[in-house]
Amino acid sequence: MKKFILFSILLVLTSNVQAQDFSSPKALIETFIKASTKKKKKVLSSCFSNKSPGEWDAIRNKTISKDDLNELKEFVSGATVSKVEMKSEEQAVVFVTFKTREEEIMTVKEGNRWFILDF
């Protein structure tokens, strides 16, 4: 029984770490997609750079309304990363296919991790 409990705890911890991967532009956007579909404000806020335009403040500051969060979830559900284009070692464009349109998401590396700059 103790082994089962320990295994369960490790599984939960591992899944939380994997759910918040900011190690590459693609991993960042996949984290953003997962956090959006699960409506995880804290993880979503961690996806955006402080240099992102003001339109992203509600997400970055975790003040996004319930309606906007539901709208984001609907928009992002089923999204896939189609391509990553590195502009430099610290900037990349991630091409994402959403239900209704294609988007180019600008990302930036700050320190040892990636952030969404804008899209």
List pLDDT tens digits, range 8-31.
Answer: 444 444 444 446 999 999 999 999
Q: How many CB atoms lie within 10 A of CB 76?
A: 17
Q: Shortest CA distance to 114 belongs to which of 92, 81, 97, 85?
A: 92
Decide if 43 contacts 27 (C-beta within 8 A): no
Q: How many CB atoms lie within 10 A of CB 85?
A: 11
Specify the amino acid at residue 100. T
> What tokens does 48 get?
């955006």
The domain limits of the chain are: 21-118
pTM here?
0.82
- Fold of the 21-118 domain: Nuclear Transport Factor 2; Chain: A, (3.10.450)
List pLDDT tens digits, range 53-110.
Answer: 999 999 999 999 999 999 999 999 999 999 999 999 999 999 999 998 999 999 999 9
